A and B are shown apart, each in its own frame.
Chain A
Amino acid sequence: MNTPNSTALGTSAISVRGVSKRFGDTEVLHDIDLEIPHGQVTCLIGPSGSGKSTLLRCMAFLEEATTGTILVNGEPLGFAPGTGAGPRVRLPEARIREVRSQIGMCFQQFNLWPHMTALGNVSEALKTVRGMKKADAEQRALAQLQKVGLEARAGHYPSQLSGGQQQRVAIARALALDPKIMLFDEPTSSLDPELTGEVLNVMRALAADGMTMVVVSHEIGFAASVGQRIAFLDHGRILLNATPQEVFGKPRHPRLDQFLDTYLDRGAAMLV
């Protein structure tokens, strides 16, 4: 069950190399190595506090790894790759933004801006960041909303949308900028089961389109059916990183078994 590394180094969509993250005295991530292959869905699963969300946030550069290097399509994210000698060098902000622009992020809390309509949320970065004209930006935003089935809600404010609709707008907002990689941080954790389905369907369609995705999720069923790679984290380490068949099939890693039992207890596991 060691980490397979079929893709050559440097060609992965995201390469996480020797990343540790410390908050004060607590080490949340311990020397993580992870390759995110192009065009595949990688699911990060694990118990609360295992560090999966922190790892994802490091990939989005919302958290700065304490040590280690993250490459996005071979380009360093945030810091120049360390030579091991001397303090690491932070890249210029413009360069950081450029590398980050390949990444789209969706949050557990959606994080739509409440003072803008759905259309405003999706078109905002097209206008301010890409410098598109208002009409062009809105046309593109509307097309994105259409993809998530919400063109009829374009004029609604977030407070007028259900949680599932808000998350779909948030996905459209990220997709509008044409990211190469989409990161999802527990995208359905604050939704009730009925609304979870509509968000997962959008994500399934995205996966079917060949989008490179990294998904932190408690939806084991989704991970097992859509995920092509499963990484199981526990106490800041990757215990397993393999295909769903390998991870969920027998014989199973005892720690994973224990973790999955908590799902079986709630009758929520629908494994492969």
Chain B
Amino acid sequence: MSLDFNLIWSLLPEILRSAGVTLLVWCCGVVGAVVLGFLVALGRRYGPRALGYALQAYVELIRGTPFLIQLFLLYYGGPFIGLSLDPVPAGLLGLAVYGAAYFSEIFRAGFEAVPPGHVEAAECLGLNRSQTVRRILIPEMTMLVLPPAVNMAIILLKETAVLSIITVPELTFQISAIGSQRYAFIEAMFLLACFYWGLVSLCGRLGSVAESRLSKFRFAHS
């Protein structure tokens, strides 16, 4: 069996469309996961104890179960509790809720890595809590959490392939469909791997650029 590149060529427009869906779902999902994850980390740091326990339970539940099963429950089980979503919104919500659990842990570690004295200095100078978070904690932890956050974004990019089980028309779903229609699984999977690799490389490159830009903000004192 040899690769049929003519076949790949002829399918390109369809594939690009589904790559667009993957990119869209991924970008929105990552933004949602980062925002939600940050709120979870804030809630665990500053919120009342009960909220902290609830958020901790959420993080452990999400991290303790496979994404595939969470998504399945959300999409096919959701209607039983009055949550009927179309595939794309369901996929987005699932990706954001799943990613947020991991991002919240990254941010929690980031908060804790900022020397307490930097926060005390802000407190002594009269900055209130939200000013301290915005002006001190977020900028200082950005350079710390950037590498693990980029890593997590890459993992989420590949997790979008799981959305195919709830019929989100993204790359994996479309290319698998083409594969079965044309009996061209090897070509399809080869292409698929190339696309993900390309996207991941791009994401990693962006992360490196951001890191080098932030490198001048190293901690002054060891």
A residues engaging B (CB < 8 A)? 60, 62, 93, 97, 100-101, 103-105, 107, 109-115, 124-125, 128-129, 157-159, 161, 163, 166, 170, 173-174, 177, 190
Contact = CB atoms under 8 A, between A and B. Distances in A.
B118 interface: yes
B127 A103 contact: no
30 contacts: A60-B124, A62-B123, A93-B128, A97-B126, A101-B126, A105-B120, A107-B120, A107-B121, A109-B115, A110-B221, A111-B117, A111-B120, A113-B140, A114-B218, A115-B139, A129-B125, A129-B127, A157-B220, A158-B221, A159-B216, A159-B219, A163-B221, A166-B220, A166-B221, A173-B121, A173-B125, A174-B124, A174-B125, A177-B125, A190-B221
A111 B220 CA distance: 9
A173 B122 CA distance: 10
B36 interface: no
Interface string B92-118: 000000000000000000000001011
Interface string B124-166: 1111100100011001100100000000000000000000000
Nearest to B220: A158
Given A105-B124, A110-B221, A111-B121, 19 more contacts: A107-B120, A107-B121, A109-B115, A109-B117, A110-B220, A112-B221, A113-B121, A113-B140, A115-B143, A115-B217, A124-B125, A125-B127, A157-B217, A158-B221, A159-B216, A159-B217, A159-B218, A174-B125, A177-B125
B117 A107 contact: yes
Contacts of A115: 139-140, 143, 217
A179 to B, nearest CB: 9
Nearest to B125: A125
A103 B220 contact: no
B140 A114 contact: yes
Nearest to A129: B126
Contacts of B131: 128-129
A114 B126 contact: no
A111 B118 contact: yes
A165 B211 CA distance: 27
Interface string B194-209: 0000000000000000
Identify the interface centre among A62, A166, A173, A190: most chain B CB within 10 Å of its CB: A62
Contacts of B136: 113
Interface residues of B, number: 24
A114 B220 contact: yes
Nearest to B129: A93
Contact of A104 (B124, B139, B218, B221): B124
Contacts of A125: 125-127
Contacts of A129: 125-127, 131
A114 B222 CA distance: 12
Contacts of A113: 118, 121-122, 136, 139-140
A222 B125 CA distance: 26
Identify the interface centre among B123, B125, B136: most chain A CB within 10 Å of its CB: B125
Nearest to A124: B135
Contacts of B115: 109, 111
A66 to B, nearest CB: 19
A58 to B, nearest CB: 13
B209 to A, nearest CB: 18
A109 B126 contact: no
A169 to B, nearest CB: 10
Identify the 4 closest CB pairs spanning chains A and B, nearest first: A158-B220, A125-B125, A111-B117, A111-B121
Contact of A159 (B128, B135, B139, B220): B220
A103 B124 contact: yes
Contacts of B126: 97, 100-101, 125, 129, 177
A114 B135 CA distance: 12
A123 to B, nearest CB: 11
A111 B115 CA distance: 8
A110 B128 CA distance: 20
B221 A100 contact: no
Nearest to B126: A129
A161 B220 CA distance: 8
